[in-house]
Structure 1
């Protein structure tokens, strides 16, 4: 029976203050006036306005960034001393290039000047932003144009851009110019010399430290092209400028290579295809080649770097479609596993990385994130991903390689994760510079009691215990593969004991779900939260309670009509405009959908998919952001944006893949060389889903899921390429 929730509580006074150590992102009003244009390649990304310009006075997050530093903070095209008229601005479908179409600003109402078309094409390749400015005269007479670029660099650290003030800054060196280039340099307090070099081809008439000028005369039907290259980092002065065309070809080849082994997905709904294709383009744009393989950087603009938790969850959600992402994530995190107790970075032997940074403030320790381990869930999630990856691929070579890292991660769970020896994994930060909360909801006010009082640590989060349960189960299965039966038995026993303790300590009848957390006094944080949905993902919830959790998450206090909120509307700190206390996070919904599917609760997955799909239809480029506000859906209204949300964000990109597999019910039996499909379901807006090249080992299948009445038929191609298909109900 569904219980009626209590009325919202009045939020009490609290002595716990939020401060700069919480690393919240500052934002100004009016910054959503236009959608930003984002490009990324490798460790470099650009945030531009629709004109292709960078004007940080209007949007502080704009710039060309490389390795956590802004190498260009102003970049503006002027035509005849004014801003050109914007005709259109669009990012290509594969995210490689921004195309901007402009006209001469002096031509408004002047037929002669309306004949000038200006096209900017901008892309990134190997630490360089390349631009081609193409001018064409469609008129019958020659025209004279004054074309000017204005530029500057503040060499701001990404944390400074986010709103953290450095204690002091390094030294900006004197800008150097010659006939065709300008070089700006900054020596940081970390003694790194950072260089921005702008190269113009052909040479302008004038080059100054902050601007260059072309005076051109263009004949009727003539095309004139100008090329501007912005090279980032200390070795840029010695790096040759690649031609515009060859760099663009190389960039596109690299993107195609990343997707070479991925399953291709098509559906009967073109709008859904727009969301799906944009998500995949974003995912592979964010996915960066490291020495260990592919790694999905977390998001732009604030988190364009490896994050442990984000990378693992992105890999889990996309595992069925492209296991190469999971492989790269596992190898990268194994190589960056902590080996010693380092309190100032919240590190302990065996712990898995939270994030890594390369900027000045991290290098000198002003922020602790150079190599930071302040997440309580990355370590069990790492083990969980290792088990899921092996089940998907049967990759014995990788298992052998990372097994020592899995052992060390298990050691962290036993020796350092359980801070008070109560059988649960908790967190408490070791440095006041670190994150106060160390689960995925890591804002300072995210973990609280029923009356709104902030919980005091050490804190045992609901979902973390679920991840630890999955980690021990996964490690047990891997140990058996390696012939370690005794260790496997021990891990299975530990997992079962945890499941029993968890269902006793974390369930609360009065709220009808698992509580958000236990505080340092082992008091329940009696808060209805989406965290409870993660218990379904790993199987720690009992079947009866899984149904109760699912019913609550499907109710109006959680489901807004667009998606599931992070906490229910009944809770004391509920705020639909907050970061973690009432907003909607797509990846959170994706993990919940995977959990619902695990327990055979399929219809809510279809409903959730429809809500998120319809939300995506209102998003710029059909790009699902990091999060959006949790206001209830109303007729003829759109979802409400969250200011400064990352877009794209890796685990938001992979959410559509999690939703698809939760509906299609696909699993893999490597030993039997079989792809299995269990009780697939499709939402009303999808008649068919086609999968091309769904791989298992060196074989693959093409599958079509087709609605037939109330059922879904599964059809495979006539030529099964070394893989069998098993359909169960």
Structure 2
């Protein structure tokens, strides 16, 4: 039962407890949620602390800080988990000893705090439920700290920039705060944090609530973070969660399903299918498995092909989607900056501000030596698995261009190997699956010069 106490007046001028941000906290596991090109990474508390975590949309961090404090202190963690279908994140918390604004005290552990969160259509939904297990009502001073830095994914990863776009002052409404940023790419980005009822105090970077919960009762706060304003509510939360679960269930049911007599093995298979479904994004060309959350939540050529090969016996439709996407973005010209040559298959694609401005070559980058032969191999394997001659016929020109590129590279070095040698200093030094700068070396530890063949 939810308490109907919204109309009870609590004095917003009462001084709230100071926030203890420096309280020690052990490192905790990170949890990730994703839907299409939007994902969030937070810790076990559900907090976003502004390091490598955050809410990201199209390779841009649109929420860089999001932390919950109860009575000026971090709550105590009871546990955190993801639902089996990877849709819902839940943090189970409880209060430490809390002094209310009028001197009332809530003993430690009497209030259970449930933070439930999911992503649906570029929007983060969250419900924070406060359940009072004590024999009297409690008033909890609750603060949510937040910020949006609109950093490009590569900035979050450590790349420095000489200049950035313009960040506007936050717009504070009655029950929402809007952050805006105009990028150097002339794209206006916006992030709106909205609450289901008005905070007692609302500022550009935090919201303060005095949450009154009757004895043995509950009170819920709903909030949403998206690019447009909304009015969060229980109905919106439930409806969006149902749609998110239905969409994920549809993805998980694509292809064949394997069962065994072993419960643990079946659980492992279920988790694997859920993880593949989480990473798979529905693009215009079909489903595509993204490489990984958080830094690689985008289409990679090599990773997409290998994932499709491993799933081919269960779900050939994934391979079809990968082939269609890579064929669509196959290089048709030569670009030193992009490591592109006619017939070559894409290595990586990005949508962020730095990629659009070509501060980095990864908007559509072709520096992967093995992606093109893997692409041809996947097409052959798909044809063997499905007998889909009509699709292969449509791919034929693309496959011919890919094999022509491989033959030309082999003929150029005179040894028949498909070699790599980055064309620009901004590209990847090593372009095989081990692509860190020191991944390939001689027996004495020295770094070889290109061209390099991986055998």
After superposition, the Cα gap between the structure-2 partners of 1:183 and 1:107, relative to the gap in structure 1 and judged at 3 Å, is closer
Tell me if the contact between 1:376 and 1:426 (Cα under 8 Å) persists in the aligned partners.
Answer: yes
Query: Hey, what's the Cα distance between the residues in 1 that align with 2:346 and 2:135?
Result: 63
Matches within 5 A, 1:177-326: 177-232=172-227, 236-237=228-229, 243-326=236-319
After superposition, the Cα gap between the structure-2 partners of 1:400 and 1:445, relative to the gap in structure 1 and judged at 3 Å, is same
Tell me if the contact between 1:295 and 1:325 (Cα under 8 Å) persists in the aligned partners.
Answer: yes
Tell me if the contact between 2:222 and 2:232 (Cα under 8 Å) persists in the aligned partners.
Answer: no
Query: Hey, what's the Cα distance between the residues in 2 that align with 1:421 and 1:205?
Result: 74
* One of 334, 342, 348 as aligned partner of 1:355: 348
What secondary structure does 1:168 align onto? coil
Tell me if the contact between 1:139 and 1:221 (Cα under 8 Å) persists in the aligned partners.
Answer: yes
Tell me if the contact between 1:51 and 1:89 (Cα under 8 Å) persists in the aligned partners.
Answer: yes
* One of 80, 92, 96 as aligned partner of 2:83: 92
What secondary structure does 2:414 align onto? coil
Query: Hey, what's the Cα distance between the residues in 2 that align with 1:361 and 1:387?
Result: 36
Quick check: 1:54 aligned with 2:48?
yes
* One of 99, 111, 119 as aligned partner of 1:116: 111
Tell me if the contact between 1:346 and 1:429 (Cα under 8 Å) persists in the aligned partners.
Answer: yes
Aligned residue in 2 for 1:653: none
Tell me if the contact between 1:263 and 1:322 (Cα under 8 Å) persists in the aligned partners.
Answer: yes
Cα offset, 1:84, TM superposition:
1.1
Cα offset, 1:453, TM superposition:
1.8
Matches within 5 A, 1:321-720: 321-416=314-409, 418-462=411-455
After superposition, the Cα gap between the structure-2 partners of 1:448 and 1:359, relative to the gap in structure 1 and judged at 3 Å, is same
Tell me if the contact between 1:351 and 1:409 (Cα under 8 Å) persists in the aligned partners.
Answer: yes
Cα offset, 1:31, TM superposition:
11
What secondary structure does 1:100 align onto? strand
Aligned residue in 1 for 2:8: none
After superposition, the Cα gap between the structure-2 partners of 1:440 and 1:398, relative to the gap in structure 1 and judged at 3 Å, is same
CA RMSD across the alignment: 2.1
Aligned residue in 1 for 2:31: 37
* One of 143, 147, 151 as aligned partner of 2:142: 147
TM-score normalized with structure 2 length: 0.89
Query: Hey, what's the Cα distance between the residues in 1 that align with 2:156 and 2:239?
Result: 33
Query: Hey, what's the Cα distance between the residues in 2 that align with 1:274 and 1:65?
Result: 30
Tell me if the contact between 1:122 and 1:131 (Cα under 8 Å) persists in the aligned partners.
Answer: yes
Aligned residue in 2 for 1:78: 69
Query: Hey, what's the Cα distance between the residues in 2 that align with 1:442 and 1:47?
Result: 25
Tell me if the contact between 1:44 and 1:64 (Cα under 8 Å) persists in the aligned partners.
Answer: yes
Cα offset, 1:311, TM superposition:
0.1
What secondary structure does 2:109 align onto? helix
Aligned residue in 2 for 1:168: 163
Cα offset, 1:231, TM superposition:
0.5
Query: Hey, what's the Cα distance between the residues in 1 that align with 2:85 and 2:279?
Result: 12
* One of 58, 65, 79 as aligned partner of 2:56: 65
Quick check: 1:125 aligned with 2:125?
no
Cα offset, 1:117, TM superposition:
1.3
Query: Hey, what's the Cα distance between the residues in 2 that align with 1:154 and 1:419?
Result: 47
After superposition, the Cα gap between the structure-2 partners of 1:203 and 1:321, relative to the gap in structure 1 and judged at 3 Å, is same
Tell me if the contact between 1:123 and 1:129 (Cα under 8 Å) persists in the aligned partners.
Answer: yes
Cα offset, 1:168, TM superposition:
1.7
Structure with more helix by fraction: 1
Query: Hey, what's the Cα distance between the residues in 2 that align with 1:350 and 1:49?
Result: 43
Q: Deviations over 1:296-350 (max 9, x none)?
A: 0101111000000000001001111111111110111111111111111001111
Tell me if the contact between 1:200 and 1:228 (Cα under 8 Å) persists in the aligned partners.
Answer: yes
After superposition, the Cα gap between the structure-2 partners of 1:240 and 1:133, relative to the gap in structure 1 and judged at 3 Å, is closer
Cα offset, 1:119, TM superposition:
0.6
After superposition, the Cα gap between the structure-2 partners of 1:454 and 1:407, relative to the gap in structure 1 and judged at 3 Å, is same
What secondary structure does 2:345 align onto? coil
Query: Hey, what's the Cα distance between the residues in 2 that align with 1:102 and 1:451?
Result: 54
Query: Hey, what's the Cα distance between the residues in 1 that align with 2:450 and 2:87?
Result: 46
Query: Hey, what's the Cα distance between the residues in 2 that align with 1:85 and 1:238?
Result: 31
Tell me if the contact between 2:69 and 2:143 (Cα under 8 Å) persists in the aligned partners.
Answer: yes
Tell me if the contact between 2:223 and 2:232 (Cα under 8 Å) persists in the aligned partners.
Answer: no
* Structure 2 gap ranges (5+): 1-23, 100-104
Cα offset, 1:412, TM superposition:
1.4
* Structure 1 gap ranges (5+): 1-29, 463-729
Quick check: 1:104 aligned with 2:101?
no
Structure 1 stretch 408-417 or stretch 192-201: which is displaced more? 408-417
Q: Deviations over 1:136-188 (max 9, x none)?
A: 11222111111111101111111111111112221111110100111001111
Query: Hey, what's the Cα distance between the residues in 1 that align with 2:141 and 2:25?
Result: 30
What secondary structure does 1:264 align onto? coil
What secondary structure does 2:97 align onto? helix
